[in-house]
Structure 1
Amino acid sequence: MDGSDPAYASENQCKRRIEVQAVCYSDDQQKRVEFDAAPYFHEQLINGRLEKVIQSLIDIEFGGDYDSDNVCEFFSASQTKPLFDYLDVVNRGRPQFDGIVGFECHVDEVDVKQWLYSFSPETLSLF
């Protein structure tokens, strides 16, 4: 088993915890959630989508677009649930696409690089 094998990365993740800080907030600035996005990147590594995800995040400078929103949505039943609960309440009864409060997500680029250095160093060549 070598370092490029997702199972190897999974075993090492248990031994070493490297956080990837991220923040998401409602467009009205009333709700903000900080969270650890490392499990999202681990999932992308296992599923063979890591390079595509990293390139997409590089293209948007790690935040403020749909590709970073995917990181936030990945945790909608756990870490970012308070944001989505808030959005459900504040948007209840509003017509779709008419004044709907959305959200934005930003991922810490330095943390992503540190995570990649440990779990997928070859992906660092995208930077």
Structure 2
Amino acid sequence: MTVQPATLSEAIALQPSWLLLWVGILVTTNLAAVLFLFGRKNGKWLFRPEALAILAAFLAAGSLMEYIYGELGYVRLLGLAHLIFWIPAYAWIYFKRRPLHPPSQSLFGKYLLVYLLINGISLVVDAIDVIRYFIEI
């Protein structure tokens, strides 16, 4: 009988190296939003709600993942937390920037493109995992 790790972090730490690298990329990409909460434009400081949306969605998804892990363990359904919280933030940022707003050459604009790429990949994988969870139960 296998003993389940006490926390989601402990369970993730037991995963293969490639998955740990991917989780590290996801965490870094999402938490990097804190660096962009405020910026300067035309000599004035401005608040960037996109960065706050990314952080809020990341933290909310993490909380739901902890809950799901506590109830069900390390299962494919964990990806549901990303789908619930990341899709609204992702869609808002995506449609705010495209097609009417071309990619910005600013560092923040480049960051948002990286965010859209990395989280977009994760959302596809998460959707597949959640579908597989329900097919397999």
Task: Compute the TM-score of the two structures, normalised by the length of structure 1.
Answer: 0.29
* Structure showing greater relative contact order (alpha-carbon pairs closer than 8 Å, 6 or more residues apart): 1
Provide the TM-score with structure 2 as the length reference.
0.28
Q: Which of structures 1 and 2 has the bigger CA Rg?
A: 2
Of Structure 1 and Structure 2, the greater helix share is in: 2
**Higher strand residue share:** 1
